[in-house]
Structure 1
Amino acid sequence: MNQLSQYAKQYKGTQLLMTVIAILTGTSIIAQAYFIVKIVDEVFLNGSSFSSVLPLFGWLAVALIARAMLTFANGRSGAWMAAKVKKQIREQLLEKYARNPVQASLQGQSGRKVSVLMDAVDEVDSYFSKYIPQLILTAIIPLMIIITAFWFDWISGTVLLISAPFIPLFFIIIGIKTQKKSEEQLEQLSAFSGTFLDTLQGLTTLKLFGQAKKQRDTIEDSSLKFRDATLEVLKIAFISSLALEYISMLGVGLIALELGLRLIYFESVTFFTAFFVLVLAPEFYVAIRELGNAFHTGRGSIGAVKLIEEELTKDEDRVVWGKEKLEAGKPPHMTLNQTAFQYGEDGFMIGPLDAEFKPYENIALIGKSGSGKSTALNLLSGLIAPSSGQIMLNRKALSEYEEKSWFDQLSYISQQPFIFSGTLADNIAIGSKQQATREEIESAAEKAGLSPLIKDLQKGLDTPVGEGGRGLSGGEKQRLALARAFLKQPSVILFDEPTTGLDLKTEQILTASMEELSKRATVITVAHRLYTIRQADQILMLEDGKLKTRGDHTGLLKEPAYQQMVQGGAGHE
């Protein structure tokens, strides 16, 4: 629970409030017991009239109302603290993923990450909303009851004191078992979530290759394992609750037996004292028993926080940013200075690369599939940090510039631009640095060649599209991505050959739009089309992550590797 305790220390004020509430709750419990016993004693033993005990009923009502309000306040305080901690943990996870989105997308299943972000973080809730509030209550209320019991009758106080440790000892033993089972349950849930999401995303592919039934069996097996793990946790919970009830009942029974013998047989205690202690005894055991239930729930949070910590402490190549501002509206002078990147210790490595890109130049990256072209774009964009070397902008390292300042000047258009669930206008407006007007969105859409599509749609720009661009063709997605770039007006544009796989008409529309964008920016393109390569001011040919050769089209025709590529008519995709 060390990591959970670290989070809890940040909310000492809330815990102090809970301590005050616990003291007041203990006072209200003792007052409630006192007024109940006093009323019974006055009416049935002393023969007092009903009207004479009315003030006592009034004070009893005050004690009951106060206890109810304090219980509510304690629960609200715990829920508030839990919500704050969950928000903090989710922000830490999202910040980690955002710091290096490329690495985050490559490591592990998306479904597993979603499960950690949602389910595991929700599992932490019980520690702060139930365990800590109950721990504070149990640390104070039983102590107040024991002191009160000793004050009225030291023998009964001693019985309470001796019987009290049996409950915590029991739930500590059970809690250890619960933690292990809860960890297994969360592990099964993460595995199930990952498998299920991956299956949903690839359902069409599975059907086409006749693997749907096999994958269904895999999901069924995963869900059954999760079910069995959940039932194991519930079994322990039910058994522990039953055992705690037995121990509490035995404790109250001992107090009742001891008081009954002394009241009737030995006549060494008054009715008022005996009844008062007997009314307080269940409250004493309930407070300790509830801690047992909360402890059981809190132990389940440990498994969740372990998963979260594993995710947060994974090694990452963090992209570092500075505070320098990049001049807006003018493409920077870009230099690759011995720039290299490697995926893990034994993974693919690109570089070291040396190159210089002047403002407004058109650069083409070419090479076979897997040669490192897309990795080079990720490096240039600042999505991943170089393992060695530097990327220079205007003779300053990219890491010296402010993240927002750089991304405000950059557009990265991939082969599969992501389209969010929303309207066409909403998706285009993502490219705006500020709040875009309707006219600006319409103008960007027109420049990107989306006007014919928008005119054919009943709701035009307000037409909703599904997540991932469901309902749009590949060419329409690319035009939407270009509309974002027109709206943003970047000074550096990275293209991962967006025309690949498109029909001739759509390719011509996109090519014209790309040429329009390149008039105001430096353009770096992963090129597969011979036409695109010929138009480039500078061509960089990659092979197995290394810079094979570079130059313009005319100069590179003397290179055998480039000649072979030209004869093939494409950039080796």
Structure 2
Amino acid sequence: MQSKRTSDQPTGWSVYRRLLAYVCGYWPMFIVAFAGFALYAGTQTAAAKWLEHFIDAVESGNLDQRGWLALAIILIFFVRGLGTLLGNYGFSYVARAVVNRLRCQMFEHLLVLPCAFYQRHTSAELLSRLTYNVEQVTGAATDALKTAVREGLTVVGLFGYMLYLNWKLTLLFLLIAPLVGAVVGLTSKRLRRLSHGIQDSVGGISSAASEAIKGYQVVRIFGGAEAERERFHKVSERNRKQYMKMVVTQSISTPVVQMLVAAVVALLTYIAMSPSLLASMSTGEFIAFISAASLMAKPIRQLTEINSTVQKGIAAAESFFVLFDEQPEHNTGTRHLQQARGHLQLQQVSFTYPGSDTAALKSIDLEIRPGETLALVGRSGSGKSTLASLLPRFYEPTQGQILFDGHPLSDYTLSSLRSQIALVNQHVVLFEGSIAENIAYGALAGATPEQIQAAADAAMVSEFAQRLPEGLNTIIGENGLSLSGGQRQRIAIARALLKDAPLLILDEATSALDTESERFIQTALERVIANRSTLVIAHRLSTVERADRILVMEQGEVVEQGSHKELLEQNGSYAKLYRMQFNEEGA
């Protein structure tokens, strides 16, 4: 989903000014680059001056100057080469540094944004910003500056030399300045709008490709290849059209500017060749003046062409700065949890997802005492997982409050609160690396091999790991795709066991296990939930029969609670669900 662009957005210049702040951090190398292109620009003017001396020397027969004129050619090109080297290296250094800084800042910011942000944006869109958009930003921040400095200094040098030769004729060049500005201004808005369209289309390409690649099995089984091909072709065609519109805009504006410059040069030539002016200038000065005027055409053209690069960068920078301006998770708590007891209280807690009109949770009151196991059951969409997501503060309650060891969750720092919680959810996330590295992930990386092995044994990971080439050190690939769903889930359980947190949340933690594996895992979980507070969410009621208390949820409300035996005796929703599952499993 793309963010809406409204009329109250910052102007292009304010966005560009903010972008240039990233370049300013590398000012020493920028000065080196500036000095290099100053040398380059100086050689352009020196070449025109050399032409003046050469023609005057030939015309006057002063041929003994040929030695220093020949050496001057070598010196001019040596200085030009040196300037080009310093300028290109300096700006390239700054460019890659800006790319690295922007990408790292964006990634670091993504790590602290609230869960609601990820509901509004697809992963493909965010990846597009990290890859494509950042390169466009760099073009505006450095490539455009490189051209502006190199060609701008060249124009200044040549213009100054022309003023020195004949200031009256040179002032004719000022006639085209307003016209060039008008052309650039007209094209800027269109180029910026087209850049937004290109960036959106790149996000669409990434999204279409990502979904088709990740869901390749579903695509093939259900015959979706043709539909996915058409969808991809559609977004790719949109990208092509946006690019072509930009090319047309650039291709029209650049020749118009060139024609304006050519018209002034033609007018200068016509006027300069009048007898009165020819009499006041030497042949060398006249030829040098016309040559300098002609040499200005190329840098002026390049200066107008950077407008498209700048507009692309501004459009890309807007997408970055909108993300940077997103508020991170609220982390205003000052209390640090060292070792929690695990006493949890929900007092009249209600919650509504952002953008939704229907409450996912309605006035929930419950308590989990230290060491108690509480189970949440109910149909899909009843609010079980939503309730669990409030405990680590992935979301904040819309109403009511949650107390942990007698203090509101908001009183604790996020890091210390989450250090006291272990989570195993239905959608297991594994990372590139070995099984052992996935068990001892993040803050657990300091665990000893013995501790990792113990967690693997308890979660039945060792049962399949010992059959792998390198045991727990076997690399499992992206998100553990080389493993079965049950194996992946056992690794996630081992990770939670290793953390040994006072509060354990099991959200469908055994959903991907077969009956035999589930029996072993249940035995392991019974050992690990001892002496710690545990919230178990399950569809399979057989997995929660031994819970201290069971809460039945419907449409965001708790409709029944009690032990397994008590709920069966009430013959209500729980008993109905239990009989239904028992009949299905016995069929």
Asked if the contact 2:552–2:573 (Cα under 8 Å) also holds between the matched residues in 1, the reply is no
Which residue of structure 2 aligns with residue 368 of structure 1? 379
Which residue of structure 2 aligns with residue 223 of structure 1? 236
Q: Equivalences for 1:338-357 in 2 at 5 Å?
A: 338-344=348-354, 345-357=356-368
Output one character per residue of 1:149-195: Cα deviation in whole Å (capped at 9) or x when no partner.
Answer: 22221133112222344333323223333223222222222223222
Q: 1:504 aligns with which of 505, 515, 532?
A: 515
Output one character per residue of 1:59-102: Cα deviation in whole Å (capped at 9) or x when no partner.
Answer: 4345424532453256336515642663366247524xx4223x
Which residue of structure 1 aligns with residue 391 of structure 2? 380
Q: Letter of the aligned partner of 2:88 in structure 1?
A: F
Which residue of structure 2 aligns with residue 292 of structure 1? 304
1:507: Cα distance to partner?
A: 0.6
Q: Letter of the aligned partner of 2:184 in structure 1?
A: F
Range moving further from structure 2, 205-214 or 250-259: 250-259
Distance, in Å, in 1 between the alignment partners of 2:101 and 2:145 is 13
Which residue of structure 2 aligns with residue 177 of structure 1? 190
Which residue of structure 1 aligns with residue 46 of structure 2? 31
Which residue of structure 2 aligns with residue 214 of structure 1? 227
Q: Equivalences for 1:354-433 in 2 at 5 Å?
A: 354-430=365-441, 432-433=443-444
**Corresponding position: 1:188 with 2:201:** yes
Q: Letter of the aligned partner of 1:33 in structure 2?
A: A
Q: CA RMSD in A?
A: 3.2
**Corresponding position: 1:332 with 2:346:** no
Which residue of structure 2 aligns with residue 516 of structure 1? 527
1:364: Cα distance to partner?
A: 0.6
Q: Structure 1 residues 282, 63: CA separation in 2 closer, same or farther (over 3 Å shift)?
A: farther
Which residue of structure 1 aligns with residue 293 of structure 2? 281
Asked if the contact 2:343–2:533 (Cα under 8 Å) also holds between the matched residues in 1, the reply is no
1:41: Cα distance to partner?
A: 3.7
Q: 1:480 aligns with which of 486, 491, 502?
A: 491
Range moving further from structure 2, 522-531 or 425-434: 425-434
1:376: Cα distance to partner?
A: 0.8
**Corresponding position: 1:562 with 2:574:** yes
Distance, in Å, in 2 between the alignment partners of 1:503 and 1:477 is 13
Distance, in Å, in 1 between the alignment partners of 2:86 and 2:270 is 33
1:417: Cα distance to partner?
A: 0.7
Distance, in Å, in 1 between the alignment partners of 2:437 and 2:453 is 12
Q: 1:125 aligns with which of 116, 122, 138?
A: 138
Query: Any gaps of 5 or more consecutive residues in structure 1?
Result: none
Asked if the contact 1:423–1:463 (Cα under 8 Å) also holds between the matched residues in 2, the reply is yes
1:230: Cα distance to partner?
A: 1.9
1:269: Cα distance to partner?
A: 0.9
SS at match of 1:352: strand
Which residue of structure 1 aligns with residue 501 of structure 2? 490
Q: Letter of the aligned partner of 2:438 in structure 1?
A: N
Asked if the contact 1:29–1:67 (Cα under 8 Å) also holds between the matched residues in 2, the reply is no
Q: Structure 1 residues 124, 247: CA separation in 2 closer, same or farther (over 3 Å shift)?
A: same
SS at match of 1:392: strand
Asked if the contact 1:252–1:282 (Cα under 8 Å) also holds between the matched residues in 2, the reply is yes
1:27: Cα distance to partner?
A: 4.0
Q: 1:272 aligns with which of 284, 302, 306?
A: 284
Distance, in Å, in 2 between the alignment partners of 1:171 and 1:558 is 80
SS at match of 2:208: helix
Which residue of structure 1 aligns with residue 3 of structure 2? none
Query: Any gaps of 5 or more consecutive residues in structure 2?
Result: 1-11
Distance, in Å, in 2 between the alignment partners of 1:348 and 1:213 is 39
Range moving further from structure 2, 339-348 or 15-24: 15-24
1:526: Cα distance to partner?
A: 0.2
Asked if the contact 2:377–2:550 (Cα under 8 Å) also holds between the matched residues in 1, the reply is yes
SS at match of 2:544: helix
Q: Letter of the aligned partner of 2:352 in structure 1?
A: Q
SS at match of 2:466: helix
Q: Letter of the aligned partner of 2:287 in structure 1?
A: F
Asked if the contact 2:192–2:311 (Cα under 8 Å) also holds between the matched residues in 1, the reply is yes
Distance, in Å, in 2 between the alignment partners of 1:507 and 1:105 is 32
Q: Letter of the aligned partner of 1:343 in structure 2?
A: Y
1:447: Cα distance to partner?
A: 2.2
1:44: Cα distance to partner?
A: 6.0
Q: Structure 1 residues 317, 423: CA separation in 2 closer, same or farther (over 3 Å shift)?
A: closer
Distance, in Å, in 1 between the alignment partners of 2:211 and 2:164 is 65
Distance, in Å, in 2 between the alignment partners of 1:266 and 1:35 is 20
Q: Equivalences for 1:536-555 in 2 at 5 Å?
A: 536-555=547-566
Q: Letter of the aligned partner of 2:113 in structure 1?
A: R
Q: 2:215 aligns with which of 180, 184, 202?
A: 202
SS at match of 2:444: coil
Q: 1:7 aligns with which of 1, 19, 28?
A: 19
Q: Equivalences for 1:82-97 in 2 at 5 Å?
A: 82-83=98-99, 86-87=102-103, 90-91=106-107, 94-95=110-111
1:13: Cα distance to partner?
A: 6.0
Asked if the contact 2:35–2:87 (Cα under 8 Å) also holds between the matched residues in 1, the reply is no
Q: Letter of the aligned partner of 2:303 in structure 1?
A: L
Asked if the contact 1:206–1:212 (Cα under 8 Å) also holds between the matched residues in 2, the reply is yes
Range moving further from structure 2, 471-480 or 239-248: 239-248
Distance, in Å, in 1 between the alignment partners of 2:499 and 2:460 is 16
Q: Structure 1 residues 551, 487: CA separation in 2 closer, same or farther (over 3 Å shift)?
A: same
Distance, in Å, in 2 between the alignment partners of 1:165 and 1:84 is 38
Q: Equivalences for 1:147-186 in 2 at 5 Å?
A: 147-186=160-199
1:350: Cα distance to partner?
A: 0.8
**Corresponding position: 1:461 with 2:472:** yes
- Count of equivalent residues: 567
Asked if the contact 1:368–1:571 (Cα under 8 Å) also holds between the matched residues in 2, the reply is no
SS at match of 1:435: coil
1:311: Cα distance to partner?
A: 5.2
Asked if the contact 2:158–2:292 (Cα under 8 Å) also holds between the matched residues in 1, the reply is yes
Distance, in Å, in 2 between the alignment partners of 1:458 and 1:551 is 47
Asked if the contact 1:326–1:405 (Cα under 8 Å) also holds between the matched residues in 2, the reply is yes
Distance, in Å, in 2 between the alignment partners of 1:301 and 1:572 is 59
Distance, in Å, in 1 between the alignment partners of 2:309 and 2:435 is 46
Q: 1:76 aligns with which of 82, 92, 117?
A: 92
Distance, in Å, in 2 between the alignment partners of 1:23 and 1:116 is 34
SS at match of 1:184: helix
Q: Letter of the aligned partner of 1:100 in structure 2?
A: P
1:52: Cα distance to partner?
A: 4.5
SS at match of 1:494: strand
1:536: Cα distance to partner?
A: 1.3
1:144: Cα distance to partner?
A: 4.3
SS at match of 2:376: strand
Q: Letter of the aligned partner of 2:290 in structure 1?
A: L
Q: Letter of the aligned partner of 1:34 in structure 2?
A: K
SS at match of 2:188: helix
SS at match of 2:395: coil
Asked if the contact 1:349–1:545 (Cα under 8 Å) also holds between the matched residues in 2, the reply is yes
Asked if the contact 1:492–1:523 (Cα under 8 Å) also holds between the matched residues in 2, the reply is yes
Asked if the contact 1:428–1:481 (Cα under 8 Å) also holds between the matched residues in 2, the reply is yes
Output one character per residue of 1:124-155: Cα deviation in whole Å (capped at 9) or x when no partner.
Answer: 22211223444455665534433332222113
